[in-house]
Amino acid sequence: MISKAEKLNDLAAEDKQLLQAVLGLFAVPQMLEQIEQEVAGYGERLLRIEEAQCLHEDGIRELEGLHRKQSQALEAFYRKQSCMEEASRQQTLLSQQHYDRHVVEPLTRRVFPLIDMLSDASKNNDGQHLDILEAIQADLHELLAGYGVEPIFVSVGDIFDAKTMQPVHFVPTHRVTKDKTVEFMVRPGFRREERVLRVAMVGLYRFENPQSITLLTRKGENHE
């Protein structure tokens, strides 16, 4: 059996719980207000984050635009540099060609007649001073070699080449195989790299048909 004191204690506990529940109901609006404030704070934070993200994206786009402009500027610079280098090479090449055509080649051409004269003197020499003449010829050939000039020698039996030879004498022949071949060399030629400065002068075989010659001779005799 429950005593009166225990009953009073139970009632007091119930009253306390009821009071706490009532007080809790009065605190709900405050809690809702606090929640609304926190939600508003979160919203402001989200807006700031979105603004920062937009600024970040704008910055990235700006950096990409600057990078494109930088790449275009570098490409334009490299193109101009390449054009300048090509122009410099062309200028150097033209300067070298001008020097070769107007300085080196005229100078070396003046040496060719001297070599011819010394060669003729050596052939017609009776043995006196032959070593001196040959030594001077060797010095002149060495001088030409210093400028890249080399002689064009032609041998007997070589096939005629209009780029490097000029016939100054024709030797008739009845052999077809000798037609347009070298019979002897009169003067050597000279070249500088691929450029021929003087062609070699040669005597050239020229084919003549014996039957044609006989017919012409008979016609001449009959006419007489």
**Whether residues 158 and 223 fall in one domain:** yes
Domain that holds residue 139: 97-147
- Per residue in 130-144, pLDDT (tens digit) is 888 889 999 999 999
223 and 198 share one domain: yes
| Predicted structure pTM score | 0.54
pLDDT digits (tens, 9 = 90+) for 75-93: 877 787 777 777 667 766 6
Q: What contacts 132, CB < 8 A, 6 or more positions away?
A: none
Q: How confident is the model at residue 18 (pLDDT cuts 50, 70, 90)?
A: low
Average pLDDT, the chain: 79
In a domain, 71, yes or no: no
* pLDDT at res. 223: 47
- Positive or negative, the CA dihedral 45, 50, 54, 59 is positive
- With cut-offs at 50, 70 and 90, classify the pLDDT of residue 39: low
Among 147, 173, 205, the domain-final residue is: 147
CATH number for the domain spanning 205: value is 2.30.22.10
Considering the domain architecture, whether residues 141 and 164 belong to the same structural domain is answered as: no
Same domain, 154 and 221: yes
Are 215 and 172 contacting, i.e. CB atoms less than 8 angstroms apart?
no
CA distance 151 to 149: 7
With cut-offs at 50, 70 and 90, classify the pLDDT of residue 124. confident
132 or 127: which leads in pLDDT: 132
Measured CA to CA, the distance from residue 152 to residue 190 in angstroms comes to: 5
- 33-37, 98-102, 154-158: range with lowest mean pLDDT: 33-37
In whole angstroms, give the CA distance from residue 119 to residue 109: 16
Residue 25 or 188, more confident: 188
pLDDT tens, position by position, 161-180: 999 999 999 999 999 999 99
- pLDDT, position 15: 57
The number of domains in the chain is 2
Average pLDDT over residues 48-74: 78
Q: Mark 172-184 as b/e (b = at least 16 C-beta within 10 Å).
A: ebeeeebeebbbe
